[in-house]
Amino acid sequence: MEKRKILIVDDDADIRVGLHARLRASGYATVFAEDGMSAVTVARREEPDLVLLDLGLPGGDGFTVLERLRRHTQLACTPVIVLSARDPEENEKQALEAGAVAFFQKPAENDALLEAIVRALG
């Protein structure tokens, strides 16, 4: 059986490496984008099963990326989980209304994040 693929979109290399290690240990394959401009390009090319998306990105913030993913036919139904250091009171509702399936404040608790990934992937 092919591993489920998760696109990690974050400009912080340490966060990308940490998420990669956690996800790989849980049986997932990962691909990466480090800015808003490359996130949609990588998503189109790789067709991930799920996207972990930071909001504070260079080259277009996470909300712009989420909007572009939702407009792309192949990616419109791809679940997106937002991981952000931004204030959840100001951003969680907006992220969920824009189409994210979950919102986590960084640093995300490992078990809760993995549970959300399992739920989102069905």
Q: Is the pLDDT at 39 greater than 70, yes or no?
A: yes
Q: What is the mean pLDDT of residues 20-41?
A: 96
Q: Is the pLDDT at 22 greater than 80, yes or no?
A: yes
Q: What is the mean pLDDT of residues 9-20?
A: 96
The set of residues, in sequence order, having a beta carbon less than 8 Å from that of 30 and lying 6+ positions away, is: 5, 6, 7, 8, 19, 20, 23, 24
CATH assignment of the domain containing 14: 3.40.50.2300
The label of the residue with tokens 């992220």 reads: 95
List the domain range (segments joined by +) for residue 51. 5-121
CB 52, CB 9: distance < 8 Å: yes
The pTM for the full model equals 0.95
Cα 43 from Cα 46, distance rounded (Å) = 5
Please give the pLDDT value at position 1.
60
Please give the pLDDT value at position 117.
98
What sign for the dihedral angle of Cα 97, 98, 103, 107?
A: negative
Tokens encoding 19:
């998420």
Tokens encoding 84:
């952000």
What value does the mean pLDDT of the chain take?
Answer: 94
How many structural domains does the chain have?
1
pLDDT tens readout for residues 59-78: 889 999 999 999 999 999 99
Cis amide linkage into residue 88, ω under 30° from 0: no
